[in-house]
A and B are shown apart, each in its own frame.
Chain A
Amino acid sequence: MSIKDIIAPFAVWKRAFEKPWTIKKPIDDRPGADRYRGFHKNDGDTCIGCGTCETICQNAAIDMVPVDGVQGDGGDSGLRPQIDYGRCCWCALCVDICTTGSLTMSNRYVWTDNDPDVYRFIPGYDSKEWDNAETGYSRPEGYSLLKEERVEMPALSVEEGLKSFVEMIKGYSAEQAVKEADRCVECGICVAECPAHMDIPGYIRAVREGNIDEGMRLLYETNPFPASCGRICTHRCEEVCSIGHNGDSVAIRWLKRYIADQVELEDYGKALPRPEENTGKKIAVIGAGPGGLTAAYYLRMLGHDVAVLEARKAGGGMLRYGIPEYRLPYDQLDKDIEYIRGLGVEIRYSINVDAESFKNLEKDYDALFFSTGLSDPYKLGIDGEDNPRVFGGLAVLDEVTAGKDPKLGKTVGVIGGGNVAMDAARTARRYGAEVTVLYRRRVVDMPADIEEIEEAAEEGITIIPQAIPLRVEDAADGKVGFVWNMAEMVDDPDGGRPRPQPIKGEIHTFVCDSLISAVGQGTNLPYLPEESESGVAVKRYKPVVDERGQTGNPGIFAGGDIVNSRKDAVSAIGDGHAAALSIDRFLMKKEA
């Protein structure tokens, strides 16, 4: 052993006092790159719980779970994604597909804990130190896994449309329909918002797969008016469509129409189920509108005998007498009605039910459903409104349905902002009139469908908002003058929607050949006996029913515009379906 071998170990010790050769670099000094795909963040207010992140996750790392404090409402499922970091590979597909853009990633990547269960967490709700991190990954601008643009619907030009009452919307071709259906992510957020709770993702899938018969079957599970609803539905489903958050919502209504358009009435029977065996029970339905006929359809399918009593000469209610032909051609409405009739539903037209016959019906039938709609136009409540140049909106539409020229003259004023007002205005326009719509609030406050308002504007209809009606007076040359007061909108101290308040001195007169008043309709229930006799309570002009249409009298049910607040066709259809199931339960003594 040499002397060197003995001192060498000690020589190493001197290194302890030297400057270190390695560079000290604590790990928390190494942030991820700016666009690093690290731990997840979720903006709970933007997230709608559509579950598309869960669907795309290739590692099945995401579960949709209810979260305390998240209520959920139309368009929000109330669920939020919970991510299992035992499975996640941070590929960011969930971020890329996120329909609302709520899900993002921070650039944080260090997280240590002794408990493996903490790595399953709900981003945005289980508080984490990276919740407010500014850097990290989010879907790059201009990049999307979703198809954000709607397939354009072929339609008549405005000029062509104004020439006649020919249907303006032409409908999708097979290729267009499949392309549009392909945009749907099948999240199912829309189903709750649809008053009839249709299986929307199901029938869109049927379109995508080219399975029209399956589509028809799914449509008729919840809605026996697909040809009509496919044209005029208020499509609240599209307002909550998850794809609509960052792009155009899926054209759900047009896809429904596409299915119904592909099948001739003669072939409906091939795709749709037959009624069940006869039960021997008889049900009377008053009113052959969408509510009444829907109830009739489902009752018939359950094997009951159904008689529908209708005061008018044809069925369809407001679909026929309220909606102009260019939006819903009568042959399409007839297709829906004829199929229901063909199943053995008896429809008796021109039958007026009064209190006496109502009581008889109650005696003669096992159950009664009434859905007679809103037929009583509200009055303007101003002086001079009984002027002979003032017409009711529904009356005008009614006359046109009957094939008569309403003879409105060259200039027409329409008072109101709902769908009846828009339809009356557009109808007058088709008879060549210059049309002006006067509404007491702002355009955004109009209860009419936004499409109707836009199309009215495209057709050259002038809209004067914030016009408070003062009086109607005669004008020169047999014309009529509508005196109105310009309003300013003031906030409602009670938190309601802003109210119009007249501006002093801003009083104008609109002179025209005819004035159409369309400020809404109310219930008219002259046939309904007193509560003491019928057991049906009426509160604020509405028959009181439970959520499935049953009145205080267990054998009497009601639905449609006279009971619900949405007052549209699809709500009446939902009511009719619910009431039919409820009646069946009542008659067959089924447990709820």
Chain B
Amino acid sequence: MVDLKALRAEMDKRYKVIEISEQRTDLAFLECDKIDVPDAVAYLRDHEGYVHLSFITCVDRLEDEQFEIVYMLRNHEKKHDLGVKTKIDRKNPVMDSMHNHWAAVATYQRELREMFGIEFPGSPGVNRPFALESWAGPPPMRRDFDTRKYSEETYFPRPGRETHDPAEHMKKTQYPGRADL
């Protein structure tokens, strides 16, 4: 069991914690300002037992014009997961790189840059393609990315494809004599 109140008290002494909430007994989320995140994560790793970074992910909060980045940490001893969340400006999406905390972070940051267009200055190899070689379109995981429009503009349909509109087809096949009504 993790005493979230105690954890928060310790964190409050050092960083501005916006919110801490328990989702399940083995899962909690903590929200910090963008500027506090690298230090807060380092503190959790070095002093609170969250030695493992499970993954980094991002939520596109389009309506609020923000990206929410989530660092999922794990305390193996206490079998507890803690997500550290922060919100950054969607119009100027830059986040401090944390590759010095865990080397593997660089890979997640490469992925986030490709999928959401978030910049991580200084992160090793961050500008290399992650999964999308020679991708020229907008970052595809952004919610305003129009999959269909992109696909229509970028790819060509397989030759020989033909579709039919149900109402038009029924007009021709079911009431041809009155089709011009």
Task: Identify the A interface with B (CB < 8 A).
Answer: 49-51, 54, 58-60, 62-66, 72-74, 77-79, 84, 86-87, 120, 187-189, 191-192, 196-197, 201, 222, 546-548, 574, 577-578, 581
Contact = CB atoms under 8 A, between A and B. Distances in A.
15 contacts: A51-B166, A54-B163, A63-B164, A64-B164, A66-B164, A72-B169, A84-B161, A120-B161, A187-B167, A189-B170, A192-B175, A197-B178, A222-B181, A577-B181, A578-B178
B157 interface: yes
B148 interface: yes
Given A63-B163, A77-B169, A192-B167, A581 B147 contact: no
B151 interface: yes
Nearest to A84: B158
A60 B157 contact: yes
A84 B158 CA distance: 9
B173 to A, nearest CB: 6
A77 B170 contact: yes
B49 to A, nearest CB: 35
B7 to A, nearest CB: 37
Given A120-B158, A222-B181, A548-B177, A188 B166 contact: yes
Nearest to A119: B158
B181 A196 contact: yes
Nearest to B177: A547
A117 to B, nearest CB: 8
A326 B43 CA distance: 76
Given A54-B163, A84-B161, A581 B170 contact: no
B171 interface: yes
B174 interface: yes
Contact of A192 (B157, B170, B180): B170
Which 10 residue pairs are nearest across A and B when measured between Cβ atoms?
Answer: A188-B167, A77-B166, A547-B177, A63-B163, A192-B170, A191-B167, A197-B181, A192-B174, A58-B147, A51-B166
A65 B167 contact: no
A430 B157 CA distance: 64
B167 A60 contact: no
Interface in B89-108: none
B178 A60 contact: no
A548 B175 contact: no
Contacts of B151: 59-60
B165 A192 contact: no
A79 B181 contact: no
Given A78-B173, A191-B171, A547 B166 contact: no
Nearest to B166: A77
Contacts of B77: none
Contact of B181 (A51, A62, A65, A574): A574
A51 B166 CA distance: 7
B64 interface: no
Contacts of B169: 64, 66, 72, 77-79
A546 B167 CA distance: 23
B154 to A, nearest CB: 12
Contact of B170 (A191, A548, A578): A191
Interface string B51-94: 00000000000000000000000000000000000000000000
B46 interface: no
A78 B167 CA distance: 11
A201 B165 CA distance: 13
B153 interface: no
A232 to B, nearest CB: 21
B19 interface: no
A86 B162 CA distance: 15
B181 A188 contact: no
A578 B181 contact: yes
B3 interface: no
A201 B158 contact: no
Contacts of A65: 162-164
A546 B168 CA distance: 23
A191 to B, nearest CB: 5
B169 to A, nearest CB: 6
B164 A197 contact: no
B164 A187 contact: no
Nearest to A89: B147
Contacts of B158: 84, 86-87, 120
B133 interface: no
B170 A547 contact: no
A187 B152 CA distance: 22
Contacts of B173: 66, 72, 78
Contacts of A59: 147-148, 151
Nearest to B159: A117
Interface string B108-123: 0000000000000000
Contacts of B175: 192, 197
Nearest to A62: B163
Contacts of B148: 58-60
Nearest to A223: B181
Contacts of A60: 148, 151-152, 157
A63 B160 CA distance: 11
B27 to A, nearest CB: 24
B152 to A, nearest CB: 7
Contacts of A51: 165-166
Contacts of B163: 54, 62-65
B46 to A, nearest CB: 40
Contacts of A188: 165-168, 170
A82 to B, nearest CB: 8
B179 to A, nearest CB: 8
Contacts of A49: 166
Interface string B133-163: 0000000000000011001100001100111
B181 A581 contact: yes
Given A51-B166, A77-B170, 16 more contacts: A58-B148, A62-B163, A72-B174, A74-B174, A77-B169, A78-B169, A79-B169, A87-B158, A120-B161, A187-B167, A188-B170, A196-B181, A201-B167, A546-B177, A574-B178, A578-B181
A50 B164 contact: no
Contacts of B177: 546-548
A192 B181 CA distance: 11
A20 B160 CA distance: 50
